[in-house]
């Protein structure tokens, strides 16, 4: 199976397919720290990332925002002291698309890079 990190987001239309239960099962091991949460009947991928302070949380938020612009797919971001909640779903289909899993994996990669840089600086 191709790694989600190697994929790019594809443009979605209102008739784009949602991921199936089988696809969710296949893709979820690549993003093990993410949860599927339902809001108003719409499934979302969500993860809370932890940081030492607000400055690190805000920097991560900005990196996720830059990635979102680059890929043309945008999450909900909640930045708080010491944590950032990232929520991916595809608005046009009111559900989950493969793009959401791609972006979750890329968000994890950004986090791992940020954590490694913080540890190196310490």
In a domain, 10, yes or no: no
In a domain, 51, yes or no: yes
The CATH number given to whatever domain includes residue 46 is 3.30.1360.20
In a domain, 81, yes or no: yes
Indicate the number of domains in the chain: 1
Residue written as tokens 């991928």? Answer: 45
In a domain, 88, yes or no: yes
Digit-coded pLDDT (tens) for 60-94: 999 999 999 999 999 999 999 999 999 999 999 99
In a domain, 72, yes or no: yes
Digit-coded pLDDT (tens) for 29-67: 999 999 999 999 999 999 999 999 999 999 999 999 999
Quote the domain boundaries for residue 82: 38-112
In a domain, 76, yes or no: yes
Helix orientation angle between 54-71 and 98-121, rounded to the nearest 10 degrees: 140
């Amino acid at each position: 199976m191709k790694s989600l990190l190697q994929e790019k987001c594809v443009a979605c239309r209102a008739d784009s397919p949602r991921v199936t239960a089988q696809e969710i099962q296949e893709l979820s091991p690549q993003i093990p720290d993410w949860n599927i949460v339902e809001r108003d009947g719409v499934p979302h991928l969500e993860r809370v990332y932890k940081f030492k302070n607000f400055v690190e949380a805000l920097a991560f938020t900005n990196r996720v925002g830059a990635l979102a612009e680059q890929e043309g797919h945008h999450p909900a971001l909640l930045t708080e002291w010491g944590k950032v909640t990232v929520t991916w779903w595809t608005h046009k289909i009111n559900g989950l698309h493969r793009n959401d899993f791609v972006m979750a994996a890329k968000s994890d990669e950004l986090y791992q890079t940020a954590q490694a840089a913080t540890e190196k600086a310490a």
